[in-house]
Amino acid sequence: MRVLVVGAGIAGSTVAHWLQKAGHQPTLLERSHGLRRGGYLIDFWGTGFDVAERMDLVPRLRREGYPLAEARDVALDGHRIASLDPQQFVAGTSGRYVSILRSDLAAAIHDSLEGDVETIFGDTVARLTEGERGVHIEFLHAAPREFDLVVGADGLHSRVRELIFGEESRFERDLGIAVAAFDVDGYRPRDELVAVLHAEVGFQAIRVALRDDLTMFMLTFRHQGPVPTDDLDAQRDLLRSSLAEAGWEIPAILHELPRARTLYLDRANQIRMPSWTSGRVALIGDAAASPSLLAGQGSALAMVEAYVLAAELAATPGDHRRAFDAYERRLMPMIASKQDAAHGLGIVFAPANRRDLLLRSVGMKLMNIRPLAGLMLGRSLRDQAGLPTWPGR
């Protein structure tokens, strides 16, 4: 089948990989003019790691990842409050764990296509019309084309979802937190292989030293209402106003904003839908069920959704409706449970008040006690998702 995959990020490139493996003809469509850069460091593990292994990506991910030696929570004056050993996470996943930039993971997946999948950059879907035998696509720039199926992998603000299912507001769950991520070169101080965390009422900041003298910052803060996703000056203004009273290194970090190579800013919201498919259109990744940054597994879950959708299509040739139903039955309950679990984690990413800040601090200190840490991490690292066997294996 000819399948249009809208979005060339983690979910889109993964589903293109597996659709091609099944003998289909995927076309990737990406609104930006190239693969997106920047973003934040993610903890990658669980069933998503299994998908990456089946794609032979793990050696590259380990090379490009960051074997962090410490996650250090610090006070206003920079002294250590608590110190966590990331190797406890690694042990809890039997070593199947890597910390890697989201954009590096996306690039590794896209490179696995080896140039064999048509990719259209700098364009998007203007109109989508379903017929009995296919889907007529009108692009913003390119000439119209026909496809058998469409997969929306175009993120939290999905154009495909809007065209088929309706406005984003119908499915968005506002968690009241925004997230910003950017990196600059030459920032000091610099702590190699250490994630330095600092939290105050209303926000948390994370600083991580990257290769080539780069430093990544991730700022999560309480925010109600929309954020400017396409206006760089407005994004900087929002960050400065939201963190104007913050201490620690925040004034120095905000001072670096004009030097940032890229800046990501958006709401850390969820997408909850009663169905991810309609007719000849299916959604995956954040377009279907964004768990939010707070859940901590968005990238891995996106790869799982992409693999399962492609596997079900391969298992039911000529019957996409049956494949879509199986895809939803297999994953929707598990994804919903991940989304539910994320709701209580706002206290970590942006404590709402001094009580939350105290509870966060106590929790970080308890993580220093190895038996307690193992118990707490054991719960969070359970991953009930299972992958279907690839047809023919």
Instruction: For residue 190, tell me if it sits in a domain.
Output: no
Query: Which residues span the domain enclosing 50?
Result: 2-66+94-173+270-345
Q: Which tens digits make up the pLDDT trace of 20-77?
A: 999 999 999 999 999 988 889 999 988 999 999 999 999 999 999 999 999 999 999 9
Q: Which tens digits make up the pLDDT trace of 342-383?
A: 877 888 899 999 999 999 988 888 776 655 555 555 555 556
Instruction: For residue 370, tell me if it sits in a domain.
Output: no
Instruction: For residue 84, tell me if it sits in a domain.
Output: no
Q: Which two tokens stand for residue 173?
A: 């769950």
Instruction: For residue 204, tell me if it sits in a domain.
Output: no
DSSP string, 119-147: EEES--EEEEEE-SS-EEEEESSSPPEEE
What is the domain count for the chain?
A: 1
Instruction: For residue 199, tell me if it sits in a domain.
Output: no
DSSP state of 385: -
CATH number (domain holding residue 101):
3.50.50.60
pLDDT of residue 364: 84
Instruction: For residue 285, tell me if it sits in a domain.
Output: yes
Instruction: For residue 311, tell me if it sits in a domain.
Output: yes
The whole-model pTM stands at: 0.94
Q: Which tens digits make up the pLDDT trace of 148-207?
A: 999 999 999 999 999 999 999 999 999 999 999 999 999 999 999 999 999 999 999 999
- The alpha carbon torsion through 240, 245, 251, 253 (nearest 10 deg) reads -60
Instruction: For residue 371, tell me if it sits in a domain.
Output: no
